[in-house]
Structure 1
Amino acid sequence: MSKNLYVGNLSWSTTEDEVRAAFAEFGEVLSVKLIEDRETGRPRGFGFVEMDDNGAGDAVDALDGKDLGGRNIKVNVAKPREERPRW
């Protein structure tokens, strides 16, 4: 099984490889997705990391509030996306 982790407060210059390397210390990283603005293509400062269950909890405990790329990142288990009405 795997867990999807939310990673926030990322520097716009942080790369997927940097995020993967930080999380890989705690277990197998299955995927990394940094979210970009649809219109400009610029990073939005957050993303998601999918990890195996064994390492996900350790990664949250160790990395939440830690410095990555000059910013103190926020890490927690991602909540399911809520459906929002389209206008």
Structure 2
Amino acid sequence: MIKIFVGGFPLDFTELDIAMLVGLHGDISTIKIVRDKKTRICKGYAFVEMMSKDGAEKAVEALDGIEVGGRQLNVKIREEKPVAAPRNYSSNTRSSSFSSGSSFEKKKRPRRPI
């Protein structure tokens, strides 16, 4: 499966509208419209997971740059983020506030004379 980015569509678009556009070029697995967390209003872009790379490439070629609802679509294959290498904490030479057993004990500070 391969993901494509679909951006620039009208804010009132639904998953069905995107499926009707993209589905003409290949089988779709999932559609995720990105929405504002508080208002739940569409931000105008989505990620579509296609069943085949061929279908994704056809969708990008056919849809990128076309006008839909007065807005120009931006469609491209989503680049996968590089996977971060696992960290090795045992080789960390920096000191940590958790390195001594007494770090959680409350220490009395000297008081200034009044």
CA distance in 2, matches of 1:56, 1:20: 13
- CA-based RMSD of the aligned residues comes to 1.7
Larger relative contact order (Cα-Cα within 8 Å, sequence gap ≥ 6): 1
SS in 2 for 1:48: strand
* AA aligned opposite 1:76: K
**1:79 aligns to 2:79 (yes or no):** yes
Paired-residue identity, %: 31
- Structure index of larger Rg: 2
CA distance in 2, matches of 1:54, 1:73: 20
SS in 1 for 2:56: helix
Counterpart for residue 96 of structure 2: none
TM-score (normalised: structure 2)? 0.66
Counterpart for residue 43 of structure 2: 44
Counterpart for residue 26 of structure 1: 25
Q: Is the 8 A contact 1:14 1:69 kept in 2?
A: no
CA distance in 2, matches of 1:24, 1:70: 21
How many residue pairs get aligned? The number is 82
Counterpart for residue 15 of structure 2: 16
Structure (1/2) with the larger strand percentage: 1
TM-score (normalised: structure 1)? 0.85
Q: Deviations over 1:10-44 (max 9, x none)?
A: 21111110101111111101111100001111111
